[in-house]
């Protein structure tokens, strides 16, 4: 088994391994590729579509069980896209596993409905549904990893497809020998080997397999590449062209890995967390190299999407980067769900979980009650009016930047009053003491409050009248006369109670 300190080095070593095994028999070449990924006492799952590649991988792993001392489970996902043919694939896989004495599990999903609901292509929706089910099914059967039969031809196809889509270094790195999806490792042990080796093994062993007729349709770009473009490249560049593409992908991955390590350093040194998500200071962001900017954004958003992979494309990433550089809050920060981004207080914020809109609640002078974004709201009787804290919305800047904040105002209410705490309503107006009435929406805009905080700012009312817009002075109708008893309203954020 080879060892390397860098994933990129492991990719390059795989090419050395491939060419060093040319003298081996086809079967032994494939077994040597699998052995480094197998451990005695482990339990693995293998994704089985019924096609020649996955049937070959199943047969190889089943044959290595006694030698490797591991156990195996086969998993098949029915996409329900080809009617009776899809069901026949599932039945074939079940029978194949029974013949090899391999436990079998099948799952189903309405891929077409998923594609329509999420605005995805059928191919992307199928991949998402399949991988999510494979991860869950592998966990259910106690597997420590899922083996996939993707090979070097698949890798070359993927790199070309991403090149046509305008991918950056991360996309051109192609598939990796080991990835994690929904906390489950997926292993591609044959990624450095050509498909003809797998097909040769299947022929030698007379392995029956299924043919997916939808793969013959050249309308999808991937199929067009496979059937029309890749044969032409092979005719001009020779058989070694796939190895060259895969080597380029390995080099791209090594570069991308370095950039991700750099992004992790930049994030630790300059970024912070708040209720908005991860905050990137624009002053530092503008000073970084363009590749550092891209790497940092991708690093943060990939973590925000975890355990699912990010659906961010290079084009979307570039639009986000340019809008971040502009620093305009009204710029188009639209990202694929569930990602969110925006600009506020000279920071860009990135998250997959914006603050949820809270439900109204009643508050009395007992104990503080929890509100959205880690806030607590409290009401306390006070013998006299004290010193207020935060009069003009300035505290919301500190909240957005992740600081510990206290907002406090005194109002003329009975000490046993029960008030209602709720989010703002559309079109509401508020008149702070010694001020003029304004629409709450306009007050929030003037204070620069980011969109995701506007709907969680507490509004306090008493018998239907507005008492306090948290962060501003108390309502004029509830101001406290000099020397009169008062009630203190308080909002705390980022503080342990």
Chunked mean pLDDT (size 10), the chain, 497 residues: 40 43 75 97 97 97 96 96 93 97 96 85 88 96 98 96 86 94 95 96 96 90 94 93 95 95 96 93 96 94 82 85 89 86 92 82 90 92 82 90 93 92 94 93 92 90 95 94 86 70
Q: Write the burial class of residue 286 (CB in 10 Å: 0-12 exposed, 13-18 middle, 19+ buried).
A: exposed
pLDDT at 11: 47
Is residue 468 within 8 A of residue 409, CB to CB? The reply is yes
Q: Which of 310, 183, 300, 177 is nearest to 246 (CA)?
A: 177
C-alpha distance from residue 471 to each of 27, 131, 319, 358, 423 (Å): 72, 46, 34, 17, 13
pLDDT at 496: 44
This prediction has a pTM of 0.76
Rounded Cα distance, 107 and 105, in Å: 7
* 101: Cα separation from own chain's centroid: 37
In three-state secondary structure terms, 385 is coil
Residue with tokens 């086969």: 74
- CB under 8 Å, gap of 24 or more: what pairs does 392-396 form? 392/447, 392/471, 392/472, 392/473, 393/443, 393/444, 393/446, 393/447, 393/449, 393/471, 393/472, 394/447, 394/471, 395/471, 396/447, 396/449, 396/453, 396/457, 396/471
Within 13 Å, how many C-alpha atoms sit on residue 465's CB side?
A: 13
Give, in degrees to the nearest 5, the angle at Cα 210 between 207 and 216: 130
Tokens of 457: 């700012």
Rounded Cα distance, 38 and 59, in Å: 15
β-strand 43-47 against 146-147: which pairing, if any?
A: parallel
Phi, psi at 234, each rounded to 5°: -65, -40
Biggest CA–CA distance in the chain, Å, is 98
- Residue 155's H or E segment, with its range, is helix 152-164
C-alpha distance from residue 386 to each of 296, 383, 412, 413 (Å): 46, 9, 12, 14
Rounded Cα distance, 157 and 220, in Å: 13
Rounded Cα distance, 343 and 322, in Å: 12
Rounded Cα distance, 469 and 421, in Å: 10
Within 13 Å, how many C-alpha atoms sit on residue 261's CB side?
A: 8
C-alpha distance from residue 13 to each of 5, 37, 97, 134, 152 (Å): 12, 15, 33, 29, 14
Q: How many CB atoms lie within 10 A of CB 423?
A: 16
Rounded Cα distance, 190 and 187, in Å: 9
Query: Residue 136 — left, alpha, or beta (φ > 0 → left; ψ -120 to 50 → alpha)?
Result: alpha
Q: How many CB atoms lie within 10 A of CB 95?
A: 11
pLDDT at 390: 80
């Amino acid at each position: 088994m080879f060892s390397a300190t860098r994933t990129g080095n492991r990719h390059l070593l795989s090419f050395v391994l491939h060419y060093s095994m040319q003298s081996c028999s086809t079967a032994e070449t494939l077994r040597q590729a699998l052995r480094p990924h197998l451990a005695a006492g482990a339990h693995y799952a293998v994704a089985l579509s019924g096609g020649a590649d996955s049937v070959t991988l199943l047969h190889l792993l089943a044959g290595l069980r006694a030698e490797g001392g591991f156990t195996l489970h086969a998993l098949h996902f029915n996409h329900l896209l080809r009617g009776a043919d899809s069901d026949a694939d599932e039945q074939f896989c079940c029978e194949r596993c029974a013949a090899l004495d391999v436990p079998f599990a099948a799952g189903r999903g309405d891929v077409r409905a998923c594609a329509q609901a999420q605005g995805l292509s059928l191919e992307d929706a199928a991949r998402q549904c399949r991988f999510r089910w494979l991860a869950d099914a592998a966990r259910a059967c106690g597997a420590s990893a899922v083996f996939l039969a993707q090979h070097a031809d698949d890798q070359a196809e993927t790199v070309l497809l991403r090149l046509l889509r305008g991918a950056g270094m991360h996309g051109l790195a192609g598939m990796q020998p080991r990835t994690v999806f929904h906390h489950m490792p997926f292993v591609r042990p044959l990624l450095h080997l050509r498909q003809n080796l797998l097909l040769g093994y299947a022929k030698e062993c007379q392995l029956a397999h299924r043919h997916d007729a939808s793969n013959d349709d050249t309308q999808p770009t991937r199929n067009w590449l496979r059937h029309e473009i890749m044969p032409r490249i092979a005719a001009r560049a020779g058989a070694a062209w796939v190895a060259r593409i895969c080597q380029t992908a390995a080099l791209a991955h090594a570069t991308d890995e370095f950039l991700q390590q750099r992004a992790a350093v930049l994030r630790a040194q300059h970024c912070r967390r708040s209720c908005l998500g991860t905050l990137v200071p624009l002053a530092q962001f503008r000073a970084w190299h363009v590749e550092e900017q891209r790497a940092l954004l991708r690093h943060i958003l990939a973590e925000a999407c975890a355990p699912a992979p990010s659906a961010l494309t290079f084009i979307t990433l570039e639009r986000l980067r340019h809008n971040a550089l502009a620093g305009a809050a009204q710029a188009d920060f639209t990202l694929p769900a569930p990602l969110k981004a925006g600009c506020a207080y000279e920071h860009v914020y990135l998250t997959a979980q914006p603050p949820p809109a809270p439900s109204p609640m009643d508050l009395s002078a007992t104990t503080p009650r929890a509100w959205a974004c880690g806030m607590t709201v409290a009401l306390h009787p006070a013998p006299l009016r004290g010193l207020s804290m935060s009069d003009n919305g300035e505290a919301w800047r500190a909240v957005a930047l992740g600081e510990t904040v206290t907002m406090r105002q005194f109002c003329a209410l009975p000490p046993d009053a029960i008030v209602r705490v709720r989010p703002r309503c559309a079109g509401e107006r508020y008149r702070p003491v010694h001020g003029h009435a304004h629409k709450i929406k306009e007050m929030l805009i003037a204070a620069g409050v980011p969109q995701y905080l506007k709907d969680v700012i507490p509004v306090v009312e008493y018998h239907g009248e507005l008492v306090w817009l948290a962060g501003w002075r108390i309502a004029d109708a509830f101001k406290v006369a000099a020397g009169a008893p008062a009630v203190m309203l308080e909002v705390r954020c980022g503080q342990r109670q």
